[in-house]
Amino acid sequence: MTDRIEALKKALEKDPTNKLGLFGLANEYFKEGMFKECVETLEKYLSLHEDEGSAYRILAQSYVNLGEIERAIDVYQKGIQQALKYNHPTMAQEFQQEIENLKTML
């Protein structure tokens, strides 16, 4: 485990719902290929905080890496709603394209 992961985990001990801490930890898990941990952290993050779309991308990609294609599609669909809510049409289009690509894997 990296020093960054350890530092973020320690910071989250003091404030377990910290938005930046949770998102940062999930991102570090993703970069390290720790997809199960990434999913767990992002699910917690999204249950506590509103997100404009980026967390949905990382969560969906983590599910893809875990072989859970249908879950990834569901997450991208939620991400589209959030991206549109926050006026990120390009992100929504990207997520839609990812959904189409994933459907070919089912």
How many domains in the chain? 1
63 contacts: CB under 8 Å, gap ≥ 6: 35, 39, 69, 71, 72, 75
What's the CATH number where 72 sits?
1.25.40.10
pLDDT tens digits along 49-74: 999 999 999 999 999 999 999 999 99
pLDDT at 72: 98
- Average pLDDT for the chain: 97
pLDDT tens digits along 69-105: 999 999 999 999 999 999 999 999 999 999 999 999 9
CA dihedral 36, 27, 67, 69 (to 10 degrees): 120
pLDDT at 91: 98
What is the rounded end-to-end Cα distance, in angstroms, of the chain?
33
Residues spanned by the domain of 22: 3-103
